[in-house]
Structure 1
Amino acid sequence: MSGLIVTEWIERSGGAERVLDSMGEIFPDSEIYCLWNDAPERFPNGRVAESWLSRTPFRKHKAASLPLLDAVWRRAPVRDDHEWVLASSYVFAHHVKVPDPSVPKFVYAHTPARYLWDPESDDRGRSALVRAAAPTFRCIDRRRAQEATRIAANSRFVRDRIARAWQRDATVIHPPVAVEAIGEKSDWRAHVLDPDERRILDGLPETFVMGASRFTPYKALDLVIAAADRVGLPVVIAGRGPDERRLRARAAEAGVPVSFVIAPSDALMYALMQLSAVFVFPPIEDFGIVPVEAQATGTPVVTGPIGGQVETIVPGVSGVIAASTDPADLATGIEAALRLARFDSRILSERFGPERFARELQRFVQV
C-alpha cells in the first residue's frame, strides 16, 4: 500500500529522527514529506519532499516559523493515490490535511507541542508573545487533533498529556531503541577506533557517575554534577550544546573531578555508559531514549519521579527513581543504584526493541 509519512523537520540526530528512520524501513514504499530536511543523506534521493519553507530563512529559525506551520500543513501534497497518511508529530505535523475523508490519518505523537501545552518545560513558551497567542493556537491544535483516525503516544506520560490537551485517547507505542545491538557487545571500548577518543577512555577515573544529553538548561546536567559531588564521585558529562560554558563553570566549583566529552561517537558514548557506575538523568522527558541506551549497556539509571523516562526503568533492578531531582535526592538515588546487583539488559528487548516497534506500528496503521 502506498502511503505518505509526514514529519516536522529532519535533523542529523535526535529521537524523532530515529523513529522516522524506523517508519521508513517498516513502510519502504511510502513517501516522506517534511518542512525541511537537514539530513539529506538519511534517505535515497527523491524519497523526501520539502515544503516551501525549506527555501526560506525560516529553516534556520524554527521559532519564527511556528505561526506559519498550520497553513503549511493544510497545503501539504497529499495525493489521491495515497492510501494512508502517518504523521510523526511533536509540533504541528498532525495538522496535515487529508482531502479525501476515506483516507485514514494516523498520528504518532512524540508530544503535543510543549510550548503551547506545557510552557514551563519549553523556553519558547515563556515569551510574552507566545503566551498571548497560545490560547488561539491551542484551540486550533485541539481541533486538528480531532481529524486523526487514531493516535499513538510514545509513552503513558505523553498519552496523559494528549488526553488533557487534545481530549483524545491514544495507544502507547514506545519508540524503537537498538537495545539488542547495544547490549550484545560486552566491551564497547574495542569498537572505539579514533585515537583521540581512545585517549579519553584511557584517562577515565576507575569509578564515575555519568550524564549525557544536549547541553541545554532543560536537560539539567548541572544536577548530575551536584548530585555526584554530594556522594564524592567523579563525573563524566557527554554531549554538546549552548549550555557548555555554564556547565563548565559549575564543574569548576565542584569538589570532585568533572570531565567533559564533547560530541562523542556512538561507540564512545556506549563505552562511557558501559564503564560508568551510574547514569543520572534529571530532565522530565516525553520518553527518553538515552536512559534506555544506558540500561542496555548494563548500567543502572537514576532519574526523578516525573516523565516518560520513568516508564523505562525497572525500579530496584535496572535503576532507581529518586524522590525528586533535588541534588540530595539524586545523590540518595546514586547511592542506592551503586548497591544494585548486575542485571541482564535483555529485559529491555521486548519492551523497546525495533522489532517490537515494527509489530506495534504495523498493527496501529493496519497495513
Structure 2
Amino acid sequence: MKTAFVHEWLTGGFVGSEKVLAEMWAVRPGSPIYTLVHNPGDFAGTPLEHAEIYTSAIQHWPRGVQNYRTYLPFMPYQIEQFDLTPYDTVISSSHAVAKGVLVGAGQLHISYIHSPIRYAWDLYQQYLREANLTRGVKATLAKMVLHYIRIWDNSTANRVDVFLANSEYVAKRVWRTYRRPARVLYPPVEVARFDHTRPREDFYLAMSRFVPYKKIDLIVETFTRLDKPLVVIGSGPDFEKVKALAGPNVQLLGRQSDEVVADLMGRCKAFVFAADEDFGIVPVEAQAAGAPVIAYGKGGSLETVVPDRTGVFFGQQSVESLTRAVGLFEERQHLFDAGTIRRHAEQFRPERFRAQFAAILQTAEQAKASGHDPERAVLALPLERI
C-alpha cells in the first residue's frame, strides 16, 4: 500500500513524539513524511535523517522554523494544503493539527493521538494565565483564535478512520473531545540502552523541559527544603525561575547527552516525576535503568508505574504531598528490586510497538479494502496487553 506520514513539526530534536513517528515509519520505511516545518540539523544521526520530507509554506515564512508556534492561527489551513491524493494510507502523528489533513473517501487515515490540543482544550485556562492573556486586546484575540481552533479540531475528527492513543488517559480524552473510541498503543521506549545492574547511589534524579506544567520548580523547591541531593537534567523557559529555588544540594546540569542520562538513571536512588503527562516516556526510561519512580498519581504515570513494585505516588502537586511521598519511598526502599523494575519496563520495548502497529495497520487496510469498518476491526483486534 502506498503510504504517507504526517507530523506537525520536526524541530527541537528527536524526542517523544518524534521517536514514535520513527518507529511507525520503520514499519513502512521510505514513505514520505509531511510536516509544517523541518529543521534537518535536529535529526542528524537519527532514523529520520534521510527521510523524504515535505514542508508547508510556514517553512519559508519569517523565522518560520524557529518561531513556528506564532503561526498557530494559520496551521489548520496549512495542514490542509498537503496533497495526499497519491496515497492509499495516511498515518498522522498528532498532538495539534496533523490529524486534520484532507483525505478522500477511498483512502485510509489512521491517526496516532499523543494528545488532543492541550492548550485549546484541557489546559486552555492554564495556558491563558501563564501567558498573561487573561484580559486586554491580545487576550481577546488569543481566545478567539483558540475558539476557532477548537471548532476546527472537533470537526476534523470525521476525517480519521481509526484513532490510536498513547495511553488509556488520552483515549478517554479522545472520547470526551471527539466522541470517538481509540485503540491504546503505548509508545516505544529504548529499554536496551539502559543498564539496571549498577549499584544505586545517594542522589535523586529529575529530567524534563523547564516549562510550567512539568513542575520542575515543585521538585527543586521540595528537595531544597528536604536538603536531600537532587540532580536535574533539562532546560527551557523556566530555567532561571528554577535556579532561584535551588539550594546547594541541587545540581542543575542543563541538557545532557543520551549517554549521560542513561548513566545517571542507572545510578540514582530514585527518579522524581511531577507532571500530569499524557503518557510520559521518561519515567519508563528510568524504570528500564532499574530506578524506582516517585510520580504524581495522575495521567499516564498511573499506567506505567506500579505502586510498591516500581515506585510510589503522591496525590497533589504540592511540596507537602511530594515530601510525604519521598518519606514513604525511603521507608519502603527494601521493596524495590532493580530486576523487577526492569522487567516491567521491557513491556514497552520498541519491538513490541512495531509488531502491534504493523498488526493494526494490516487489519485496518484489509477492512478498508473489503468494505468493512476499519475502526471496528482494529478495536476487535486481539493484542497482548501491558
Candidates 74, 80, 93, aligned match of 1:74:
80
CA deviation vs aligned residue, 1:34-83 (integer Å, no higher than 9, x gap): 11111353435461111121111233223321111111121112132x11
Partner of 1:250: 245
Distance in structure 2 (CA, Å) of the matches to 1:266 and 1:161 = 32
Partner of 2:118: 114
The 3-state SS of whatever aligns with 1:54 is helix
Q: Indicate the RMSD between aligned Cα atoms, in angstroms.
A: 2.1
The 3-state SS of whatever aligns with 2:33 is strand
Percentage of pairs with the same residue:
31
Matched AA of 2:352: R
**1:3 Cα offset (Å):** 0.1
Matched AA of 1:52: A
Contact 1:187 1:271 in 2 (8 A): no
Partner of 1:49: 54
Over 3 Å counting, the alpha-carbon distance change for 1:230 and 1:125 in structure 2 is: closer
Distance in structure 1 (CA, Å) of the matches to 2:297 and 2:89 = 38
After TM superposition, the score normalised by the length of structure 2 is 0.84
Partner of 2:346: 349
After TM superposition, the score normalised by the length of structure 1 is 0.88
Q: How does 1:290-305 map to 2 (within 5 A)?
A: 290-305=282-297
Candidates 274, 278, 295, aligned match of 2:270:
278
**1:157 Cα offset (Å):** 1.1
Contact 2:218 2:318 in 1 (8 A): yes
The 3-state SS of whatever aligns with 2:174 is helix
Contact 2:266 2:290 in 1 (8 A): yes
Distance in structure 2 (CA, Å) of the matches to 1:126 and 1:295 = 37
Correspondence 1:174 to 2:186: yes
Correspondence 1:236 to 2:240: no
Over 3 Å counting, the alpha-carbon distance change for 1:125 and 1:162 in structure 2 is: farther
Partner of 2:17: 16
Candidates 328, 332, 353, aligned match of 1:336:
328
List alignment gaps of at least 5 residues for structure 1: 189-204
Contact 1:177 1:353 in 2 (8 A): yes
Distance in structure 1 (CA, Å) of the matches to 2:161 and 2:190 = 29
Partner of 1:186: 197
Matched AA of 1:224: I
The 3-state SS of whatever aligns with 1:264 is coil
The 3-state SS of whatever aligns with 1:116 is coil
Correspondence 1:83 to 2:83: no
Candidates 352, 361, 364, aligned match of 2:357:
361
Matched AA of 2:361: V
Matched AA of 1:319: G
Partner of 1:193: none
Partner of 1:213: 208
The 3-state SS of whatever aligns with 2:116 is coil
The 3-state SS of whatever aligns with 1:112 is coil
Matched AA of 2:220: I
Matched AA of 1:10: L
Partner of 1:59: 65
Distance in structure 1 (CA, Å) of the matches to 2:273 and 2:92 = 29
CA deviation vs aligned residue, 1:172-212 (integer Å, no higher than 9, x gap): 111110123324x6349xxxxxxxxxxxxxxxx95112111
Matched AA of 1:50: T
CA deviation vs aligned residue, 1:62-115 (integer Å, no higher than 9, x gap): 3321111111121112132x11000000110000001x3111101000001111
Partner of 2:7: 7
Partner of 1:160: 172
The 3-state SS of whatever aligns with 1:362 is helix
**1:126 Cα offset (Å):** 6.7
Number of aligned residue pairs: give it: 344
Distance in structure 1 (CA, Å) of the matches to 2:325 and 2:40 = 38
Contact 1:284 1:307 in 2 (8 A): yes
Over 3 Å counting, the alpha-carbon distance change for 1:74 and 1:109 in structure 2 is: same
Matched AA of 2:102: K
Distance in structure 2 (CA, Å) of the matches to 1:91 and 1:250 = 32
CA deviation vs aligned residue, 1:136-177 (integer Å, no higher than 9, x gap): 321211110122000011111111111111111111111110
Partner of 1:199: none
Distance in structure 1 (CA, Å) of the matches to 2:328 and 2:303 = 19
Shifted more, 209-218 versus 169-178: the winner is 209-218
